[in-house]
Structure 1
Amino acid sequence: MPYTVDFHSVSTVGLESSPVAAALAGLRANEARYFKNKYDHEFTVEPAADAEDTIEWVHRILREERDIEISSRPLEATAFQVENIRMAYVFYESGLSVNVLYTLDDTGKRAVGFKLSDGMEVPEELASRFKFARQRSKLAGTIRGSYFTIKKEY
């Protein structure tokens, strides 16, 4: 069942099995606030079992661009379009969030972003490949993030 993320009242709904559920919920709420403020978009997620196409699209990009396989189990995902940008998010049990920003015109930005919830270790599959910058968030505590640019067409 889809869940519209409320960034005024952070909830762990759908993320309860994560060892960093509260921090992951804050990270998810931080994303919801961003899209509401910038695009007036309601950030709605669905359980991984209902979002297989989105998860496969994200995993395909990770595999084909950088030969990355995320070892953690996906808990939730979402895909939507704002203006001419296709967005996809996958939230993992470990506390990792992977997002794909894919501008639909050929001249736009296309990238994969990684965000680590407060309190989680850098996943082994990402540790040797990326450096993570820190940012503070009222909703999520300390978020560590990194990204790479997408080269191919998806």
Structure 2
Amino acid sequence: MSYRVDFERVSTIGLESSPVANALAGLRANEARYFKNKYNYDFVVEPASEAGETIRRVQRILKEERDIVIASEPLEACTSNVDTIRWDHVFYESGLAINVMYTIDDPKRRAVGFKLSEGMDIPDELASRFKFARQRSKLAGTIRGSFFVVKGEY
């Protein structure tokens, strides 16, 4: 069942099994607020069991671009098409959130972003490859993030 993320009343619906469920819910709400403010778009997620295509696409991009395999289980995912951008998001049990910004008409504006929920360690598969910058969020506390540019066609 899909869930429209409410960034005014943050909920852990769908994320309960995460050891950092509250922080991950805040991170998810932070994404929802961004999409509402920037694109007037409602951020709707699906359980991982219903979002296989999105999860497989993100896994393929990570594997082919950087030989990265995420060890944590995906809990939720979504694909949002706004303007000429396809955004894939996957939220993991560990507290990791990955988004892929894939601009359809501009191959120079494609990237994978990693966000770490407050209270989680950097996953081993990312620790030696990326440096994470910190940012504060009223919804998510301290978010650590990093990214890389996508070079291939997906």
Whether these two folds match at TM > 0.5 is yes
Q: C-alpha separation between the residues in 1 aligned to 2:152 and 2:51?
A: 23
Q: List structure 1 runs of 4+ shifted beyond 3 angstroms.
A: none
User: Where does the alignment leave 5 or more consecutive residues of structure 1 unmatched?
Assistant: none
Which amino acid is the alignment partner of residue 99 of structure 2?
N
> 1:81: which partner in 2?
81
Specify whether residues 42 and 127 from structure 1 end up closer, same or farther in structure 2 by C-alpha distance, changes over 3 A only.
same
Aligned residues: 154
CA positional deviation for 1:28: 0.1
Specify whether residues 49 and 107 from structure 1 end up closer, same or farther in structure 2 by C-alpha distance, changes over 3 A only.
closer
Q: C-alpha separation between the residues in 2 aligned to 1:108 and 1:41?
A: 24
Q: C-alpha separation between the residues in 2 aligned to 1:85 and 1:43?
A: 14
Matched, 1:40 2:62: no
Written as runs of structure 1 = structure 2, the 5 A alignment for 1:102-121 is 102-121=102-121
Q: What SS does the corresponding residue of 2:12 show, helix, strand or coil?
A: coil
Q: What SS does the corresponding residue of 1:136 show, helix, strand or coil?
A: strand
Question: Deviations 1:30-84 (Å, cap 9, x if unpaired)?
Answer: 0000000000000000000000000000000000000000000000000011100
> 1:128: which partner in 2?
128
Q: What SS does the corresponding residue of 2:53 show, helix, strand or coil?
A: helix
Specify whether residues 69 and 107 from structure 1 end up closer, same or farther in structure 2 by C-alpha distance, changes over 3 A only.
closer
CA positional deviation for 1:106: 3.3
Q: C-alpha separation between the residues in 2 aligned to 1:95 and 1:63?
A: 20
Q: What SS does the corresponding residue of 2:136 show, helix, strand or coil?
A: strand
> 1:8: which partner in 2?
8
